Amino acid sequence: MNKQARRPQGTRRGRPEEGLGRSIATTRDWLLDQQHPDGYWVGELEGDTILESEYILMMAHLGRHQDPICVNVARYVRDKQLAEGGWSCYPGGPVDLSASVKAYFALKLVGAAADEPAMVRAREAILAAGGAQECNSFTRFYLALLGQVPYEDCPTVPPELVLLPDSFALSLSNMSAWTRTIVVPLSIISAFKPVCSLPDELGISELFRDDRPRRPRRSVPRISWERFFLAVDGALKVVEEVVPFSWRDRGIRAAERWMIDHFESTDGLGAIFPPMIYTVIALRCLGYEDDSALVQWAHRHLHDLVLQEDGRARLQPCVSPVWDTAIAAIALADADLPAFHPALNGAVRWLVEREVRTEGDWRVRCPHVEPSGWHFQFANAFYPDVDDTAMVLLALKRSALADEPDVQAATRRGIDWLRAMQNRDGGWAAFDVDIDNQVLTKVPFADHNAMLDPSCADITARVLELLGGAGHGMEDPAVVKGVEYLWRTQEPEGCWYGRWGVNYIYGTWQVLLGLKAIGLPIDHPRVVKAADWLESVQQPCGGWGESCRSYDDPAWMGRGEPTASQTAWAVLGLLAAGREKSEAVQRGIRHLLETQNEDGTWDEPWFTGTGFPRVFYLRYHLYRVYFPLMALARYRKAAGRLPVSTTGPGALATRVPALPLSGDL
């Protein structure tokens, strides 16, 4: 990313006009400049190189891997190679085997020679990590598609899953929403088993270790669901060999209908990259011509995720306009933008128009509520989600248009929908109700760590934040159940796991906001313990940071390079816990001020968003702007004119003057 000029730290300490008010105003103005004329904000959403690699692998299947777009994508993949040779899932992370195999294969397809130093280093890293035979199941499908492994080495994904009744444990309705959209087109590919034969020189046989079987077998208990499903997988493979293909026609046609029905009012199937790319291949399997309307539709939405810059191209996993707009509107309201400012009114009008008024997949488990909710992307009508809905409603309730009849009606419907989406354990999940059958995590194609959509603390707390702001407290049974869920999931250290942001810092700040909103006293022992934990992981510089590695290793809980977004979350959590006068908050604010760029933004190369824990992480490019703005603005409201303490552990060597809270606003 392009680094912006940063104000000299000494200037901030010595000149009162360079104060908090000016910092807030600068960030506010930058954010206003980024608003689209239609009223929304949308920042880039960055993932790791599996997106670019899989795009090239798909294009290779279509015979188009030498297209200029693939050359540009390959340049981007090359740029992301680690010094040790492989590719990681997040900046600062270790070599990831599956990501590295796909990146190596993609580069070779576009023209990289196997004896190039970078390719040699990549190959050595892959072999040291176990070789291509140790890849996850979704990588193996790409290898089978391009003739590098037989489909027998991939788990069977039968299209007949679509025919199973909702009451059956393995039915689609028992899987997470994102898995549903991946599994259906993948089941079509699994049934047809398309193969694009490549010349030997483009293959990757050199990535397979000779001292290990090409089809590794997992060690599983003799009596277990894993062994049961492996036996089922083996039986399905035998059936596929002996039964005529026509026997599968009913399941294939059902999968085709499900997939095409779910194209309606979306930016691609599920509006996320994995099912969108499988859609292109599945439609070809079904006989749709490349110039057909459906195939062109699928390509167009996939292409919409491509960003090109300086001879390089990268892909977003999806786009986030609803999410970004809601948070930006809240941050601007915090920053004292006039209530009827055109930017806020435009954002509210745009958000109200995005309300989903049709039935989606959620209806299967929640049939008796009026359709409502908001999705993440521009269009994804089958999948409004709880998190976006709560965030949008928080923005609407903060706006000057909150009492307008259409806004009130949308707010009422949204709250009713959210209440109906509460799980039996008292928490809230992302897309559905009670998608928590652990048996599904044992199926052979479940190694993407996302088969289920269980309750999580961060979303539960955000719903509580909304309900509390709407006047619901501990007299409300839904609130009581939600709080009980949070008590059950608090870690011994006092923090909460963050499902959708990295990680314990994210979960903890959101829970503290939710508990404050429902009126829980700030001296409640659990609140005190959570706030103490946040203070305990503050870094000597005054900031906070946590690596994605904390999902794999508890020793990394609250540890990592400091970032603007995570520092903002920690400060916001401590403010919610009533610690605006604490040294920790003041040091956190000082850190944000000292690391702010001249244009009002912050540099943040690290990933602080979570897609699938332990598998896929994200960098929301606007997190580094609207969350720090929110923290600075809420601190100003909470603290008034407080001196910034510089004593104690990790303090600056010299005493600094009090923060001017008004600046030159």
Catalytic (active-site) positions: 387
Q: What is the CA radius of gyration of the chain?
A: 25
Q: Rounded to whole angstroms, how far apart are CA atoms 439 and 537?
A: 36
Furthest C-alpha separation in the chain:
81
Give counts: helices (H), strands (E), the chain. Answer: 23, 5
Q: Which residues contact 244 (CB under 8 A, 6 or more apart)?
A: none
Contact present, 331 and 637 (Cβ < 8 Å): no
Q: Rounded to whole angstroms, how far apart are CA atoms 261 and 276?
A: 14
Q: Rounded to whole angstroms, how far apart are CA atoms 314 and 617?
A: 15
Contact present, 619 and 566 (Cβ < 8 Å): no
91 to 278, 546, 549: CA distances (angstroms): 27, 12, 10
- What pairs with residue 588 in β-bridges? none
**DSSP H or E stretch at residue 514:** helix 504-517
- What pairs with residue 617 in β-bridges? 610
Q: Rounded to whole angstroms, how far apart are CA atoms 127 and 410?
A: 55
Look up residue 153 and give its two tokens. Answer: 């080495």
Q: How far apart, in Å, do the first and last CA atoms of the chain sit?
A: 30
Q: Is 313 helix (H, G, I), strand (E, B) or coil?
A: strand
Nearest Cα to Cα of residue 302 among 281, 329, 324, 331: 281
Q: Rounded to whole angstroms, how far apart are CA atoms 321 and 323?
A: 6
Nearest Cα to Cα of residue 354 among 420, 430, 272, 413: 413
